[in-house]
Structure 1
Amino acid sequence: MKNNLRVLLLAAGPGLLAPAGAALAQAPASRPAVSGQSAPLGDMALSLQQAVDYAIKNKSSLLATRLGEQTARARVGEIKSAGLPQVNVAANLADNFKLQKSLVDFGAFAGGSSATQLRPTDIAAAQGGQTVNLSTVVLPSEPTPPQAIAFGLQWAGNTSASVSQLLFDGSYLIGLRAAKVYEQLAKKQTQQAEIDVVEQVSKAYYSTLVARERLQLLARNVQRLDTILYQTNQTFKAGFAEKLDVQRLQVQRNNLVVEQQKAARLTDLSVALLKFQMGLPQDQTVQLTDSLGAAVVDAGALRQRLGVASPTTGGGVSGLAGVPNAPAPATGNTDAQNRQDQQTALSGARTGQLAAAFNYNNRIEFSTLETQQALAGLDLANRRAGAYPRLLATAAYGFTGSANTAGELFAFRGPDSRAANGFPNQNWFGFGNVGLSLQIPVFDGFRRKFQVQQARIAQQTIERGFETLRQSIDLQDAQSRTTLINALDVLDNQKANLELADEVARVSRIKFKEGVGSNLEVVTAETSLREAQTNYYAALYDVLVAKVDRDKATGELYNQAKQ
């Protein structure tokens, strides 16, 4: 985006003629012309804070990130549910259209090599009410082979309800702790996304402010050039100027009008970019309420925070006292202090000496890495907990039944049911049980051993990442500081150049009006002024962007947006 605005500045540069209306630590008496106009119906008034607040609530990428928080909360609930009673209800129905048979040795039930003989005449006599004496016969010496018998009936069904309650599981206890840390990680990832949105919206808002200020300046420049062109044309008609003087100014005006049109289109583009960064529909019109003068920073206070002096005054814009020096570190460090620093560094915190220079915890990336380290530690503990026993309490109750036909199966006859001959014909029977289930892992082929190794390596990798992240943050801190200091120096220089160019242009116009200067001198001075104005606004935008980058590097951008 910064490059886009610099292109806009350079494109509209040749048309800037009037002095700058804003400077560091100065707020103009009036807003840009677009802010002073009556807002049409439906315009959305936006300050920078309102733009940031809207983006945080409505940016589609942030809404998607917040879904990750909801997923994390659902994951916590999923893990907690494993510790609640687990209830299951089951029902089965089977048509045993071909019953399985089993071999039965009936000879084993005879009690020896003899058996009781039952003849048809004996049965007829018994049916006639006579007493029949059964005789014993000797079985053949060759035993009877086992016979295939089908057990059960064709139709069978059962239904049951079972309950289990987890009594002890080391992995479950660690999982509860990990679930809370995982939820914290999701929140920090959302905060990281919010910081990125604040940065993008802030830069887009500043881009729009600078673009509209310059567009207003171009409008004033065209009006003033029209006045000069009219006066020169009248002087030419009176015979006191050459036609070449009029033509030179006419060329300047034509170029300025073209640049004004280009700047207007690029301003509309910067507004469209702001809407995109906010997540605002493109058809929604906006009205920026902040002025450029209110957006710029106090250079003197900023230089004091950075610990640098102005290159021109030696004391900053507002005058600075001596730059404070950091206290010198103690030269003698005891073994106990060394061990404490090592332990502190391994835990993800800062040693005492480094903490005095920069607070890494202000950066959300560092806090996120600490959370990831905590998760890695819990994952390692969870792998080790896989060797602990697992104890559950169980209970079940149900019914099972069978019948020759489906209709008889669904008759649901209980223990009090009787057939026509008075015999019980119950076809459904209940069952129940309670107990404990203890699962003790003995040997898993070294699977858990290698899982522990992987988890330990992952934890060590994150620990190594702390030093890399510290170095990256240190580089960003130094880079953002240097960039901001350079931007302030360039802005001071361009402001001085602008004042000089404005004075030269003013004197040139007076000399030309009094007839002691040439038109070429005026055109040259105006060209130099336009270049100075372009450079000034480019430097002003660079300072605003560098300030945003500096606040992000020090971890202050998010806190400022929340104020």
Structure 2
Amino acid sequence: MKMSLIFLLMMASIAVAAQQISPGAYSLQQAVDTALKNRYDLQANQYNVLMAVNTIGRAKKEWIPVVTGNGTIRYNAQLQATYIPAGFGGLTEPTLLALGAKSVTILGLDLNQAIYRPAIRSNINIAKNNLEWQKERNRQAEIDIKVKVTEAYLNVLLKDLQQKIAGDNEQRYKEYAEIAEGKFRQGTLLENDHLRAALDYNNSRIQTEIARQHYRIALDQLKYEMNLPAATAVTLTDTIGTAVISNTSTTASPDNRTEVRQLLFQQYDNKLQLKKAKESVLPTVSLIANYSQQFLYEKFEYGRSRWWSPFSYVGVTFSLPITDHIKNAHQIREYQQRIRQTELNLLQRQTDIAYEIQQSEATLRNAERNLQIMKSNYALSGTIYENQRRQYSLGSFEYNDLLDTERSLNTAEQNYVKVVYDLLVAKVAYEKALDNF
């Protein structure tokens, strides 16, 4: 009996927990996090970072010495003659004498170690800068996704509001139609007014269905931005008043914007490229070394060890470009012009962002004030509706007068939706301007 009771209690607790957890419920931040996790394009961008890291490793490996193994096997069918002057070895006259081995085999190792080569160091710095630049590009892509998901999420909330307002309108027109039906049966309402009330109710039902369709389309758009299957059940836990970006920043410096940071990386790349172009006229110095074993004999009889002999050398080689400063003069001039161009673009972008922050903040404050005013008007329209409905049911005025009031009510509703939409747009613009995404 005790075991059965314990089992029932466990099942009950599991059922309660299952009711509390809704796997398809998303706050705005959860929707953004899901999109960042699911999007294939963001996953693909990570490979750009890995390739940039690989480029740094490849540039650093240029310092590794180059060791090569080489071999030569040669048979001299005719030996080259060497001039022997008179007096050498007791010769009374000069002569030509063919000296050397017919079978020649040389096996060796060559080493080349760069000692001074400015291009290697410049390539490493360029690769490191490109890595940080690529990370910033990835951040830009993530910001774009965050903005799209946020806009899609808020659009669903807006369409939900429009859907609710359409439902309220339908309910009002339904009550009007029911009152008109009763009055018509009592003979206190003209047939034409009765038909108009029924027509207005049917039209309101169509508007409600259209609003539902727009809501479903907006929800599908959100699921697409989150990279969720179309059949996934999704519910939103945030409301228009609570949907905010959680990772807000306290700073509004234009230098934190990814557009500015990318221009700074671009400018640093231009300077590194200019430095590399100037370094191309500097000399390069390398250490060289060789160790070889050679076999000289009449035949390729490698077993005769006495005919094997080693030789080796160590040295330094350098190369000094003579005409490269003429060839790369245009390249140097191009990067100097790019540096100045990026400088101007950076100044303009900082100015644009400062203005964007100022304007988006003012727009957001105006939208918040307008919403407070329209909330009062919307609440007042609801009070007017209740009064008009009671008066109409008592026969205090005609249906035409009711429609005049209804038009005012619809205007208040549409204005309310508009200011809500303006507030959502202003909120996204302001958060983006502050780099809070």
Within 1, Cα distance between the matches of 2:70 and 2:337?
44
Question: Following superposition of structure 1 onto structure 2, how do residues 32-431 of structure 1 map, counting pairs within 5 Å?
Answer: 44-90=24-70, 104=81, 152=102, 159-295=107-243, 359-399=253-293, 413-416=302-305, 431=311
Tell me how far 1:540 sits from its aligned partner.
0.4
Distance change >3 Å, CA 479–CA 93, structure 1 → 2: farther
Within 1, Cα distance between the matches of 2:386 and 2:162?
20
- Find out whether 1:477 has 2:360 as its counterpart: no
Return 5+ residue gaps in structure 1 as ranges: 1-37, 117-137, 298-304, 306-354, 417-423, 559-563
- Give the helix-richer structure, 1 or 2: 2
Contact 2:36 2:42 in 1 (8 A): yes
> Which residue identity is paired with 2:347?
E
> Which residue, 403, 414, 437 being the options, matches 1:523?
403
SS at match of 2:110: strand
Tell me how far 1:255 sits from its aligned partner.
1.2
Cα offsets for 1:180-199 (capped at 9, x unmatched): 22222111122222222211
SS at match of 2:324: coil
> Which residue identity is paired with 1:447?
K
Within 1, Cα distance between the matches of 2:424 and 2:77?
86
Within 2, Cα distance between the matches of 1:282 and 1:490?
36
Distance change >3 Å, CA 443–CA 529, structure 1 → 2: same
Contact 1:505 1:522 in 2 (8 A): no
SS at match of 1:456: helix
Seq. identity, %: 25
Tell me how far 1:48 sits from its aligned partner.
0.5
Distance change >3 Å, CA 162–CA 51, structure 1 → 2: farther
Within 1, Cα distance between the matches of 2:273 and 2:244?
48
Return 5+ residue gaps in structure 2 as ranges: 1-17
Mean Cα deviation higher: 186-195 or 379-388: 379-388
Within 1, Cα distance between the matches of 2:253 and 2:85?
94
Cα offsets for 1:134-156 (capped at 9, x unmatched): xxxx99xxx99x99999856xx8
> Which residue identity is paired with 1:237?
R
Distance change >3 Å, CA 546–CA 403, structure 1 → 2: farther
Distance change >3 Å, CA 204–CA 110, structure 1 → 2: closer
Within 2, Cα distance between the matches of 1:157 and 1:275?
73
Contact 2:357 2:433 in 1 (8 A): yes
Within 2, Cα distance between the matches of 1:363 and 1:255?
49
Within 1, Cα distance between the matches of 2:203 and 2:274?
70
Mean Cα deviation higher: 429-438 or 268-277: 429-438
Distance change >3 Å, CA 88–CA 215, structure 1 → 2: farther
> Which residue identity is paired with 1:171?
A
Mean Cα deviation higher: 45-54 or 370-379: 370-379
> Which residue identity is paired with 1:260?
T
Tell me how far 1:111 sits from its aligned partner.
5.2
> Which residue identity is paired with 1:248?
R
Contact 1:395 1:433 in 2 (8 A): yes
Distance change >3 Å, CA 521–CA 169, structure 1 → 2: same
Within 1, Cα distance between the matches of 2:402 and 2:152?
36
> Which residue, 369, 375, 390 being the options, matches 1:495?
375
SS at match of 1:173: helix
Contact 1:508 1:521 in 2 (8 A): no
SS at match of 1:438: strand
> Which residue identity is paired with 1:86?
V
Contact 2:156 2:219 in 1 (8 A): yes
What is the TM-score with the length of structure 2 in the denominator? 0.80
Within 2, Cα distance between the matches of 1:466 and 1:46?
38
Distance change >3 Å, CA 83–CA 516, structure 1 → 2: same
The alignment's C-alpha RMSD in Å is 3.8
Tell me how far 1:545 sits from its aligned partner.
1.3
Within 1, Cα distance between the matches of 2:264 and 2:324?
33
Contact 2:28 2:244 in 1 (8 A): no
Distance change >3 Å, CA 92–CA 475, structure 1 → 2: farther
What is the TM-score with the length of structure 1 in the denominator? 0.64
Contact 1:201 1:274 in 2 (8 A): yes
> Which residue, 329, 334, 340 being the options, matches 1:460?
340
Within 1, Cα distance between the matches of 2:284 and 2:385?
89
Within 2, Cα distance between the matches of 1:245 and 1:91?
109
Within 2, Cα distance between the matches of 1:63 and 1:243?
66
Tell me how far 1:91 sits from its aligned partner.
5.5
Tell me how far 1:159 sits from its aligned partner.
4.9
Cα offsets for 1:301-323 (capped at 9, x unmatched): xxxx9xxxxxxxxxxxxxxxxxx
Within 2, Cα distance between the matches of 1:92 and 1:505?
104
The residue aligned with 2:7 is none
Tell me how far 1:53 sits from its aligned partner.
1.2
Cα offsets for 1:167-224 (capped at 9, x unmatched): 2222323333333222221111222222222111111100011212332343344344
SS at match of 2:397: coil
Higher RCO structure, 1 or 2 (CA under 8 Å, sep 6+): 1
- Find out whether 1:545 has 2:425 as its counterpart: yes
